[in-house]
Structure 1
């Protein structure tokens, strides 16, 4: 009985700590993902051949030997990198947190670590620590900063998973790699780059031992209790669920979850990938994700020179303009409490006492019908201007008289104030 009560108290304490830890993330809704590393140099091309797939997997796809890939460090000199500019781009886009790759699957470390010389400070002519610079600017600007860390795949380390063209898998000691390399590097990130808002792990579904996921979680909890851990740490040890890459769930989901999404078709920079999403598409994706209860982590892949590609910047600026007007319907909003028909002209987000109807296909006949309203509506108005709209409510159905032309061609937000 005493043991049961102790466990109950401990679980309650952990839940209380999690609620505190997740508070800012639940309000944020929109973040910037940054994939940047040596792979930005070949930019999808190796030995004059375009390599299929996403840019940051070029070492794996082309089966580039470690010694050959290492030579890219001699070319990594992103003199146009400017941490202040990157944070400014994120802020102007309306993003509330940033997550950058500290170590991706190729094993190169974009931070100064004492556990390998294969890092940006010791191995490149650049000789600077981008994570340290970003951390400093983010603190100054009030931007939350997190780090992506590949804890399972590492094509450079002899004991890491994934590289079977340089190393014999039968001779690998993954547990040694994890305890002598992964855990110490995570400790470095948490102590040398504090505060770390979030640790974003990947491919945790291939982590063979649950106890390693638990060890890693406990390490983070002990060193930095306020650091959020994403779901891909593996074995259920994360604070929230990570959807598949570019995968939006079909229906509303309970709990905390996030969609990582590319702005074009790759995460790491590819020189010939110009398949950019339009600003309108990004806005509608963001609204859909929030309407179903999640966060959107939208990726940019900077160039080898250290610049976020101009098309990405231009798209994000337009998204930011929309959010500046309509942010109330996104930040801190919850999933739609009403059932929205699959063929509806709108999506819905909510806050206490308010429903935000995001009209993505304007009704040309001058009337918008909204269904499943179980509370009395006392006022209807356009979020952008405050202009009130006439409406009638019959049971759970609402009919709203709307202007002939949409105030916003991408997403006009109509606010329903509830009694």
Structure 2
């Protein structure tokens, strides 16, 4: 590898690590609305959710909307269609996917039952991604799944968002609306008079306030539709963090920083800093009049409208001092990938335990196919979660962190009733439990019961220093009650 290339890799690695450190130490503005605070507390107790990226773009097995964004990133490349080398023609063909979108195998009840069985307690669905294609029956656009030009529009389940929300609520699960703030299809966001430069609005909203106001009203109206016509909604999960208000100083500082980063790595700017004020405070007030207590996640926008933070496709290294959720791809990409390889049950279960031990929630993404199905790998993974959660969920739901949250390969949580849980994270091919498991950071109170979830007999334990050692009977060692992670329960610990 050439020296210059090594320098670029080093810089990219440094920037990535630095950015993640900033995210994990990011300032958090606590919510003051008592109804929302109560809802957030409940959300932190349910731990495990489902995210679904689905739209007309799924037909091409591409990275959601991003190929119509004129930025020079590898994952934005145009490789599908009849004329990927011509940007204008490509966008036209991409938008024509609306006409052929026809997921005739769409069965929302099958999905909701599988998710509920796996232990998921909430669901977030992409009602509109950056491209502007609405997966609900919006009266403010014809670029939607229910438009007569869409092949699926005559199907009784054409209003996909409503069908999904109803199916998941029927399983007593929370529902949330993913909604992207930018709208690349809307003529008051990417005005056809000018070319699209990047992901941002393609004109200066300060110079064309009436045009920008048209887009602001469109955004408010669509979200108010969802809040008014689709039953109880628990979460509005807003994406497109670049759509936010910026003051001039903020633009100048960020632009300089972005210029330095991108010029060093690429030789040119990838995208601009543009103030795009959609009046979030006003919008959130409107939404909460329709949905009292609504949790709002204005992702990657520091301020009071980011009720919880969302590390993307990564798990923080430590417990974070605010509500948070890792959104993670289960297989392939965020959107449907025809040859997707899904994470193993071992990876999936241990990720859930690790996140919960650090005080977070796991939002696991599954991408439906163009026909309206889930791939076999997704069902296999959910079945592994189901088998494990049926035995071990007692240490997951409603749990709180227990310092130091992890010791060697043992994660830990606790409940308000005094029960503590120690999760032994088995190696990939470790199917036999060790004869002894030692924990040094905590010790049961004298007379406390130590047991293994899924095994109906108490276990013998011995105090060792400030910790304890548990003896595992040979019969149990050879035949653990679950795979991947084994959960030791202690009825009461010595307080520190």
Fold equivalence (TM over 0.5): yes
Structure 1 CA distance for aligned equivalents of residues 434 and 50 of structure 2:
39
> 2:216 aligned with 1:179, yes or no?
yes
**Against the structure 1 CA distance between its residues 250 and 406, is the aligned structure 2 distance closer, same or farther, given a 3 Å change threshold?**
farther
Shift of 1:211: 7.0
Is the CA contact 1:339–1:372 (under 8 Å) kept in the aligned structure 2? no
CA distance, structure 1, for counterparts of residue 282 and residue 438 of structure 2: 53
Q: Write the distance in 2 (CA, Å) between the matches of 1:129 and 1:135.
A: 10
CA distance in 2, matches of 1:168, 1:203: 12
Report what 1:266 is aligned to.
333
Equivalent position SS for 1:195: coil
Question: Over the residues paired in the alignment, what is the CA RMSD in angstroms?
Answer: 2.6
1:388 aligns with 2:463: no
Match for residue 67 of structure 1 among 89, 92, 99: 92
**Can you give the 5+ residue segments of structure 2 that lack an aligned partner in the other structure?**
1-28, 70-75, 79-86, 247-276
SS in 2 for 1:170: coil
Gap change, CA 1:199 and 1:31, over 3 Å in 2? same
Residue aligned with 1:230, SS = strand
1-structure distance, mates of 2:183, 2:104: 27
Aligned position for 2:203: 170
Aligned to 2:18: none
Counterparts of 1:16-55 in structure 2, within 5 Å, are 16-44=34-62, 54-55=63-64
Q: Which 10-residue stretch deviates more, 386-395 or 23-32? A: 386-395
Deviation at 1:307, TM superposition (A): 0.6
Aligned residues: 396
- What is the distance in 1 between the residues matched to 2:317 and 2:37? 26
Indicate how the Cα distance of structure 1 residues 88 and 340 shifts in structure 2: closer, same or farther if over 3 A, else same. Answer: closer
Larger Rg: 2
Determine the C-alpha separation between the residues in 1 that align with 2:453 and 2:334: 34
Q: Distance in 2 between matches of 1:178 and 1:242?
A: 26
State whether structure 2 residue 474 is matched by structure 1 residue 405: no
- The alpha carbon displacement at 1:12 in A equals 11
1:355 aligns with 2:420: yes
Counterpart of 2:124? 99
- Could you tell me whether the CA contact under 8 Å between 2:118 and 2:383 is conserved in 1? yes
Contact 2:327 2:362 in 1 (8 A): yes
Matches within 5 A, 1:137-216: 137-151=167-181, 153-160=182-189, 163-164=196-197, 169-170=202-203, 175-209=212-246, 212-216=279-283
User: In structure 2, how many angstroms separate the alpha carbons of the residues matched to 1:306 and 1:349?
Assistant: 38
For the structure 1 residues 200 and 374, does the alpha-carbon distance in structure 2 shift closer, same or farther, using more than 3 Å as the test?
same
Secondary structure of the residue aligned to 1:337 is strand
Q: Measure the CA separation in 2 of the matches of 1:30 and 1:163.
A: 38
The unaligned stretches of length 5 or more in structure 1 are 1-10, 45-53
TM-score, normalisation: structure 2: 0.74
Question: Is the contact made by 2:53 and 2:366 (CA closer than 8 Å) also made in structure 1?
Answer: yes
Runs of 4+ aligned residues of structure 1 deviating over 4 Å after TM superposition are: 165-168, 171-174, 362-365
After superposition, give the CA deviation of every residue in 1:344-364 in whole Å (9 maximum; x if it has no partner): 121112112111111113796
Q: What is the TM-score of this pair, normalised by structure 1?
A: 0.87
CA distance in 2, matches of 1:242, 1:222: 23
Contact 2:124-2:175 within 8 A present in 1 as well: yes
Cα 1:324/1:12, change in 2 over 3 Å: closer
